[in-house]
Structure 1
Amino acid sequence: MEKNPELIQDVDFSWDGTTPLPRVPLFLIHDGGGTTFAYHCLDPLRRPTYGVFNPRFHSGGRFEGGMRGMGRLYAVMIRQKCAEHDFPGKRNSDGRVDILIGGWSMGGLLSFEVAKALTGDRNVRVIGVLMMESPCPVNMPAPGSHLESLDHIDLGNANKNLILSVRAMREAIQAIREWDPPVWAGKQAKERPRFSLLRAVEFLPIGGKRVHMIDVHRHDQTLGWDGYDPELFTETLDVKGNHFEMFSFQHIPGISKAIKRCCDTLEKLSQSY
């Protein structure tokens, strides 16, 4: 049986003078297609990296509680992984393990829910969240005013995994449409982790004058998140490609470098907590 979370990149060490410094582990959550394939293509990030795939990829079906339910389930899975005796994360003086979480598209939104679910956890502390091309779904245009179908994907000669991914994406679109990002209020506000964002610079080449829903906030450096919190992101970086091609072969070096930079910054900033 496949392990979930799965190990994508093994333990690595960076060097500061003569002292080996283990990096904070990174958990990357699946995109709307449900798989972690794109993350396996990344260049070395020089930190332990795990992928969380959709456990219902093969069976299909929506999660009870929608995005919130998925986030809570994945928080449990990540907590269990962090508790394993050979987990590479270092425990702090308070007994908690520091981790980074993130994801592409839907994965970035789910990272929001996982971070909220793990707020105040006695065993795990999320020090940073990396959202990759995850537009804010709040106050989006009404369905029908912009293209939002998956018609750009050719299923004519599709294999089984692509068909399953498209099914997962259709379910993801519905779940995101019904979702509102969580809010850290009261005492929890001080425990909200820092966030960073990667934004693709190109529009989907759909032709005509209409714009795909995923590109509504394309010219906005924060992809619409200023309406949620204008000070949400510690760092925003542009990467080459469009939403669906940013992990294509020719863009892997660039996006790997951007992910590494954001994770390194989030880890460094966490030391000031």
Structure 2
Amino acid sequence: MREKNPHQVQYVSDHGGQSSHAPLVLIHDGGGTIFSYCLLGDLHRDVWAIHNPKYFTAEPWEGGVDEMARHYIELMKNAGIKGKILLGGWSLGGLISLEIAHKLAAAAAEDPSACELSVAGLVLIDSAYHIPWSKLQGPNPEPELGPIPELIRKSFDNCSGLLDNWELPTWGDPAGDTDQVRYKFVCEDWRTVESGRHHATVTASPPPALLLRCTNPVPTKEPDPCRVDLFRDEPLLGWDGRYPDFIKAVVEIDAHHFNVFELSKVVQATARLNEGLAMLDRLSSPHA
């Protein structure tokens, strides 16, 4: 039997009624699977997850992130997912989500009546600002991950190919002024912090985004950071000052990029994600 994709990993737990919270669709990370999302505790909403349909064949996406985004939009539509959703994912999944949101917004701008699916907010699980990897110079130490399955290793290799030349989609900047971000440090309450300035020139803005930021660097055998940690010391993981009016809330997680979903961390990840989702629900509400 063909595996469902997207796969619904959580259902509203209110005796069959509809949740007042927007459903969440999570895109796979660079390993291609959705196993990590199945470990999460109750997020109090319908949750769908999309795995890489080419995971078992280890085929690369000839059209890159652009092709993936178009294909995943069709997968969501074919699954009957409609209306306003929250969209996101861990690492690569967050970046693909941004491309999907951009394509849906462009389609809606061309023909609002034909767009049955829209992104009310984005959820980036430790997805740092992306610079095409082919433009990066200097050492690139490998993270100490231990043995990993062959198919996941191939998926990581294909992920590297995807990110070598892919550029972030161009949105806009309505003002270019210093922005304010809601920030939740580990073991602290929400506070408002100032982000950097941004300098885009077009007028459309992306949906409000929640960033779950891991506070710890990934262990390596060398002193230099691996690529996922290039902006580890920056509160918004490089997004502020480089990308337009985008990150609206940040929640810190006491973990590093690759262990955020380990069994010892998943209770914390669920709690922190729920805190962030509650804030994103408010930010994405038309009455916010």
Give TM-score scaled by structure 2 length.
Answer: 0.79
Distance 2:237 2:59 in 1: 29
| Residue pair 2:132, 2:164 contacting (<8 A) in 1 also | no
- Equivalent AA in structure 2 for residue 181 of structure 1: L
Compute the displacement of 1:143 (Å).
Answer: 5.1
Match of 2:235 among 221, 245, 266: 221
Residue equivalent to 2:167: 180
Secondary structure of 2:79's partner?
helix
**CA shift digits 1:6-37 (9 cap, x unpaired):** 011112349xxxx9743211000000000000
Of 38-47 and 180-189, more deviation after overlay is shown by 180-189
2:98 is the counterpart of 1:112: yes
1:124-135 maps to which residues of 2 (within 5 A)? 124-135=117-128
Distance 2:66 2:59 in 1: 15
**CA shift digits 1:116-145 (9 cap, x unpaired):** 121116101110000011111227695562
Distance 2:62 2:211 in 1: 28
Compute the displacement of 1:222 (Å).
Answer: 1.2
1:94-243 maps to which residues of 2 (within 5 A)? 97-119=83-105, 120=108, 122-138=115-131, 145-149=138-142, 152-155=144-147, 162-184=149-171, 189-190=203-204, 192-229=206-243, 231-243=245-257
**CA shift digits 1:135-169 (9 cap, x unpaired):** 1122769556232546x3334xx5xxx21011001
- Equivalent AA in structure 2 for residue 12 of structure 1: S
Compute the displacement of 1:68 (Å).
Answer: 1.3
**Consecutive unaligned residues in structure 2, runs of 5 or more:** 109-113, 175-201
| Residue pair 1:13, 1:22 contacting (<8 A) in 2 also | no
Distance 1:136 1:261 in 2: 22
**CA shift digits 1:43-90 (9 cap, x unpaired):** 11010001000000000121132011111111111122235xxxxxxx
| Residue pair 1:5, 1:51 contacting (<8 A) in 2 also | yes
Question: CA distance change for structure 1 residues 174 and 199 in 2, over 3 Å: closer, same or farther?
Answer: same
| Residue pair 1:97, 1:124 contacting (<8 A) in 2 also | yes
Distance 1:46 1:221 in 2: 28
Give TM-score scaled by structure 1 length.
Answer: 0.83
RMSD: 2.5
- Equivalent AA in structure 1 for residue 231 of structure 2: H
**Consecutive unaligned residues in structure 1, runs of 5 or more:** 84-95
Compute the displacement of 1:42 (Å).
Answer: 0.5
| Residue pair 1:28, 1:102 contacting (<8 A) in 2 also | yes
Compute the displacement of 1:207 (Å).
Answer: 3.4
Of 168-177 and 208-217, more deviation after overlay is shown by 208-217
Paired residues, number: 251
Compute the displacement of 1:38 (Å).
Answer: 0.4
